[in-house]
């Protein structure tokens, strides 16, 4: 594939009212909100539809069914968060959720229905059936489709694919823009804006085993950290219990909804084992299920356990989980008759760039939303299917805050020019993105040039980081192992030259965040939610019912 290097050291300079980095649910929802007040440019490092949102299978949680209550959703979320949720953030999520879901439906999102009513299912740790889904197991893809369609219809909302953001621009303590590389031709660009929103998703690619797409390299968190922003709760990585464990195949996520529909877990000896670990068995919180699976794998000296869906008919599975069923079939597994080998894999980061309830970070002019942000809504362990809802709700709220905070009289686009400001490539409409996608695909600059498609030295160092994180800082951690991981990571020196392209930038971002994650994990001397310390196996509210915080060049601290 082609690896582009900048053709010139002089970046092209551009101005917009608002810049949004990331085209998942949080970024798109914020951009749509912002379009009411000026010109907005959304940057995506790969295709616009290549985000964790589009990969989301299970669904989106919301208290809309006749049997449900907002208060129950709130309590379930707090219970799952294991004593670390920010109550005011949870209240905002569950109370605002129904309004924004209804709006999604108005905008054309087609959730599955039972007759004329919305169809809800149940997932682990939910006390009610409150999970909306679309096309069975393609919920995120449907939401992404609807939001992109809405965004494309707004003249002064521009979307640019294959634009990799490398750093933030700060002036007098305020974020005033960013720099990015256009991967279709290697040109450098400098974008100035009244406000910047980071919505780049998670950092699953930091681990050897992950369900995340290749684009999940924590770019937003890393560039915010480099600019001086506070990162919070970075030790809390959620590991999904059931990723497809077939040698040579990607760790395709087998949705928690499978267990919600009656799937059971069996060890290598075909024994059902979850009763030994939790009274809710297969529907226990994710961290408990993941650790139970690891314990069974260690006890039986195996590399996987099995997910058993054979009590369900082929007809049911094809209708309810069409994408999962077909993917398994492509690997020679018929879920209606075969046991699916599964193992845990890194899935979702509860931490990120610390924000308040309106998306403000610790840096003026910089906002964050979705998995990139740490609002405290998930606490130490995210409740299943709350992530899409968080991106939707807090994306909209961050957009509202950015408009309210914008300096009066400083808009550079729609408000002053009376029409759409030019895109960096000279075009004026969102529809131009389709052309750019085509050019990028022709040149080989697609989503597949992420981790692992860079120069050999970058690939080797990335493999090392992912192996260290998986072995010493994953589902079960110990102080000795974490200290060793930090030492190994500190010995790694990613290449500083920009000639390594996007892969080199992603490597540096992952290296930065690996050190942040291991340092905060070592500092938290307790076990809570997704963070399990073998040397401190109990929760310690007296010392650690607090959120970790880390800034570049400073020590880890814990704060309320």
- Dihedral, CA of residue 513, residue 515, residue 516 and residue 517, to nearest 10: 90
Note whether 429 and 155 are within 8 A (CB): yes
Q: How many CB atoms lie within 10 A of CB 519?
A: 21
CA gap 322, 195 in Å, rounded: 41
- Dihedral, CA of residue 41, residue 47, residue 168 and residue 502, to nearest 10: -150
CA gap 395, 146 in Å, rounded: 15
Helices (H) and strands (E) in the chain, counts: 17, 23
Rg (CA), the chain: 22
Structure tokens at 287: 């961290």
Q: Which of 286, 466, 508, 533 is catalytic?
A: 286
294: number of CA atoms within 13 Å, CB side? 18
Note whether 320 and 309 are within 8 A (CB): no
Buried b (16+ CB within 10 A) or exposed e, 384-408: bbbbbbbbbbbbbbbbbbbbeebee
Give yes or no: 208 in active site.
no
| Residues with catalytic roles | 286
């Amino acid at each position: 594939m082609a690896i582009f290097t900048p053709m010139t050291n002089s970046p092209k300079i551009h101005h917009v009212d608002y810049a949004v980095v990331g085209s998942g649910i949080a970024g798109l929802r914020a951009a749509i909100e912002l379009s009411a007040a000026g010109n907005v440019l959304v940057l995506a490092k790969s295709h616009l539809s290549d985000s964790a949102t589009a990969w989301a299978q299970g669904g989106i949680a919301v208290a809309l069914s006749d049997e449900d209550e907002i208060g129950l959703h709130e309590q379930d979320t707090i219970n799952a968060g294991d004593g670390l949720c920010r109550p005011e953030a949870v209240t905002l999520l569950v109370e605002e959720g129904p309004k924004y879901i209804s709006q999604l439906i108005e905008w054309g999102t087609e959730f599955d229905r039972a007759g004329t009513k919305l169809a809800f299912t149940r997932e682990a740790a939910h006390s009610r059936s409150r999970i909306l889904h679309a096309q069975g197991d393609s919920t995120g893809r449907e939401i992404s489709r609807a939001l992109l369609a809405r965004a494309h219809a707004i003249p002064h909302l521009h979307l640019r694919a294959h634009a990799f953001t490398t750093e933030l621009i700060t002036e007098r303590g305020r974020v005033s823009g960013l720099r990015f590389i256009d991967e279709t031709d290697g040109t450098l660009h400098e974008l100035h804006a009244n406000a910047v929103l980071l919505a780049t998703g998670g950092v699953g690619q930091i681990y050897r085993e992950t369900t995340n797409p290749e684009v999940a390299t924590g770019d937003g968190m890393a560039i915010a950290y480099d600019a001086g922003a506070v990162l919070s709760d970075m030790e809390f990585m959620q590991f999904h219990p059931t990723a497809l464990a077939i040698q040579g195949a990607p760790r395709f996520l087998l949705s928690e909804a499978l267990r919600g529909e009656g799937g059971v877990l069996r060890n290598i000896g075909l024994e059902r084992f979850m009763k030994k670990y939790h009274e809710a068995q297969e529907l226990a919180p994710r961290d408990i299920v993941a650790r139970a699976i690891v314990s069974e794998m260690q006890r039986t000296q195996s590399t996987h356990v099995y997910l058993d869906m054979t009590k369900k008919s082929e007809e049911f599975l094809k209708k309810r989980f069409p994408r999962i069923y077909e993917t398994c079939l492509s690997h020679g597994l018929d879920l209606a008759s075969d046991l699916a080998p599964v193992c845990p894999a890194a899935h979702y980061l509860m931490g990120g760039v610390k924000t308040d309830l309106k998306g403000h970070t610790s840096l003026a002019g910089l906002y964050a939303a979705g998995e990139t942000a740490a609002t405290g809504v998930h606490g130490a362990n995210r409740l299943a299917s709350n992530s899409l809802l968080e991106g939707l709700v807090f994306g909209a709220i961050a957009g509202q805050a950015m408009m309210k905070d914008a300096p009066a009289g400083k808009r550079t686009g729609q408000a002053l020019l009376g029409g759409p400001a030019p895109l960096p490539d000279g075009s004026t409409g969102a529809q131009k993105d389709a052309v750019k996608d085509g050019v990028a695909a022709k040149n080989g600059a697609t989503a597949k040039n992420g981790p692992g498609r860079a120069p050999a030295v970058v690939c080797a160092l990335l493999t090392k980081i992912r192996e260290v994180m998986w072995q010493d800082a994953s589902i079960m951690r110990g102080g000795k192992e974490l200290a060793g991981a930090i030492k190994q990571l500190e010995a790694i020196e990613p290449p500083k030259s920009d000639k390594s392209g996007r892969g080199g930038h992603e490597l540096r971002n992952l290296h930065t965040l690996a050190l942040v994650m291991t340092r905060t994990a070592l500092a938290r001397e307790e076990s809570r939610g997704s963070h399990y310390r073998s040397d401190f196996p109990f929760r310690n509210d007296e010392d650690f019912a607090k959120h970790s915080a880390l800034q570049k060049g400073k020590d880890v601290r814990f704060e309320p």
